[in-house]
């Protein structure tokens, strides 16, 4: 084994990941998150080599607004999965400050029990500038965890109001956590994210909040009937849960099992993942085009000039963008 801090080869990463080495897995995820060209070359090679060992895990996305109790929910939910024999990888995404660009990365400390279990791997990452509540290399990290032998991958998104389309496009099952008693439930519903959810769980349904949670469950379930039916034929269920006493968690496991049975028997799971692969390809094309665009000689200086012109009102954003694109084409 190479020295702890030496640069690893693609062979070192591949062999370590397949052997279940957690340290190597963590370094591999850091590698795919890197923007250095030397790291990109190794990570591209590594991702190609692990592909035959991916795709067998269940991929579950969990989202909800801050305060809904995502980490607490996952702490309880994860323990139940482990008891059922699952080997669990949790990819948690922390929001990045737009001012300091820092991230707390504290989810691992909020999952005290799970972080001590041999069957569980927790990897916090910063969202950075990525949209959709996920980090830039979440897809790659998910594949690395699958190649390391994890049977269920949980992705906890930021959930701070931006589009959650990104996570929907990389998981099989999308669980939306909601709160009761936070004002008019129907007023607070975001149609787009509810349409993407495969199940909705009302959290903190315990004590004096049980009645309010049940009212919220009925409101959300009734609201779902107003949406067009999912093309897969799956009907989204709304449940109430309590991480305090474990109520509702067995029911969520049951919903997830029924979902996979439905999707696999109908062939929809394979179709969903194929669609996600093409979406990933298109996302990468957009990313690489922008990176190449900004790497064009003189582009950073030209961009600053156009930004100033837009701010002064001497040109429109559309015309500025066309000017910059044409400049890149003609270089």
52-65 pLDDT, tens digit each: 999 999 999 998 87
Least confident of 90-99, 127-136, 280-289, 309-318: 127-136
Picking from 266, 296, 322, the residue at the C-terminal end of a domain is 266
**In-domain check, residue 283:** yes
Name the pTM for this structure: 0.86
pLDDT value at 1 more than 80: no
Claim to verify: residue 79 and residue 140 sit in the same structural domain: yes
Q: How many domains does the chain have?
A: 3
Claim to verify: residue 68 and residue 162 sit in the same structural domain: yes
Claim to verify: residue 5 and residue 73 sit in the same structural domain: no
Claim to verify: residue 158 and residue 292 sit in the same structural domain: no
CATH classification at residue 162: 3.40.50.300
For 302, the domain range is 278-330
Q: Which of 77, 33, 30 shows the shortest CA–CA distance to 58? A: 77
**In-domain check, residue 272:** no
Q: Which of 97, 122, 127 shows the shortest CA–CA distance to 109? A: 122
Claim to verify: residue 71 and residue 191 sit in the same structural domain: yes
Claim to verify: residue 153 and residue 204 sit in the same structural domain: yes
Claim to verify: residue 135 and residue 147 sit in the same structural domain: yes
197-240 pLDDT, tens digit each: 999 999 999 999 999 999 999 988 988 888 888 888 899 999 99
Distant-in-sequence, close-in-space partners of 245: CB < 8 Å, separation ≥ 6? 206
**In-domain check, residue 321:** yes
pLDDT category at 82 given cuts 50, 70, 90 is very high
Least confident of 20-29, 156-165, 166-175: 156-165
């Amino acid at each position: 084994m190479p020295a702890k801090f030496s640069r690893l080869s693609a062979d070192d990463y591949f062999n370590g990941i397949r052997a279940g080495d957690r340290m190597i897995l963590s370094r591999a995820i850091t590698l795919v998150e890197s923007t250095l060209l030397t790291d990109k070359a190794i990570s591209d090679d590594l991702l190609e080599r692990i592909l035959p060992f991916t795709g067998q895990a269940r991929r579950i996305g969990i989202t909800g607004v801050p305060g809904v109790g995502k980490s607490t929910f996952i702490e309880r939910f994860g323990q139940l999965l482990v008891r059922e024999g699952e080997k669990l990888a949790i990819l948690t995404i922390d929001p990045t400050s737009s001012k300091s660009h820092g991230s707390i990365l504290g989810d691992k400390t909020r999952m005290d029990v799970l972080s001590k279990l041999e069957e569980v791997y927790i990897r916090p990452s910063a969202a950075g500038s990525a949209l959709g509540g996920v980090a830039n290399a979440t897809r790659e990290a998910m594949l690395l965890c699958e190649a390391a032998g994890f049977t269920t991958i949980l992705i906890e998104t930021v959930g701070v109001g931006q589009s959650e389309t990104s996570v929907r496009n990389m998981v099989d099952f999308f669980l939306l956590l909601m709160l009761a008693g936070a004002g008019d439930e129907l007023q607070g519903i975001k149609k787009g994210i509810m349409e993407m959810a495969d199940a909705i769980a009302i959290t903190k349904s315990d004590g004096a909040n049980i009645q309010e949670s049940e009212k919220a469950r009925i409101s959300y379930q009734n609201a779902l009937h107003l949406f067009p039916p999912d093309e897969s034929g799956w009907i989204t269920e709304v449940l109430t849960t309590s991480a305090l006493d474990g109520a509702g968690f067995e029911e969520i496991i049951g919903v997830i099992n029924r979902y996979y049975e439905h999707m696999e028997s109908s062939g929809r799971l394979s179709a969903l993942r194929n669609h996600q692969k093409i979406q990933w390809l298109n996302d990468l094309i957009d990313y690489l085009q922008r990176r190449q665009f900004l790497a064009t000689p003189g582009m950073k200086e030209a961009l600053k000039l156009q930004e100033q012109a837009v701010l002064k009102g001497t040109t429109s954003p559309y015309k500025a963008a066309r000017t910059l694109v044409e400049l890149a084409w003609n270089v």
